[in-house]
Amino acid sequence: MMNDTNIWLERLSSLYKSQMRKAAGIEGVQLVHFEILRYLSLCNKYSNTAQAVSEYLGQTKSSISQSLQFLENNDLIERKTDPVDKRFARLFLTKNGKTCLERMNKNLAPEIPDHQGTTEIIKMILGLWQKQNDHRSFGQCHSCLYNRRLENGKFQCGLTNETLTKSDTTKLCREHEFLADSL
């Protein structure tokens, strides 16, 4: 039998998905298209590949590939060859994609207040589910084990040794690992 927390989480997630589906339908796209556009608006420069989208959404690369093709054909995203590693194509929202996402977000449920205690509880539950099911965390860089604060006020990724701006540290990363004390 499910406990009260699980019942409320199930209801919340069902309602949220329902609202997302409705907002997507108003724009003439499917829920998965909304999820992809939203992910691409939130992820960092290391995590904007078809493989990362597939992992984030927990879907096969072939089904994601079809959705990406739809979004590209409708001028909502564009693919660009990675300038450093030509084997990779990076995915970016187009101007139309950003506008479409903004409209869908406005049609979604009201903005939830950002309350520190609530956020911490949600992060803990998410972390437990991800760990139990061996999923990547896709967290924000500022909560990552590899994030380093430099003396000049900037940040550095310990995996890539690249300098990050404060804005970069708010993006979702495929390589994210939670700090031991943040779960």
**pLDDT tens for each residue of 6-49:** 898 899 899 999 999 999 999 999 999 999 999 999 999 889 99
Q: Can you read off the two tokens belonging to residue 29?
A: 């796209």
In sequence order, what are the residues at sequence separation of 6 or more whose Cβ sits closer than 8 angstroms to the Cβ of residue 115? none
Domain 8-106 has CATH 3.90.420.10: no
d(CA 163, CA 171): 14
- pLDDT tier at 1, thresholds 50, 70, 90: confident
Question: Do 8-106 and 137-182 share a fold?
Answer: no
> Which CATH topology does 137-182 take?
Ubiquitin Ligase Nedd4; Chain: W; (2.20.70)
The domain spans of the chain are: 8-106, 137-182
CA angle, residues 7, 127, 125, in degrees to nearest 5:
25
Alpha helix locations (H) across the chain? Answer: 4-26, 31-42, 50-57, 61-73, 95-106, 116-132
Please compute the mean of the pLDDT values over residues 107-128 and round it to a whole number.
80
Predicted model pTM: 0.87
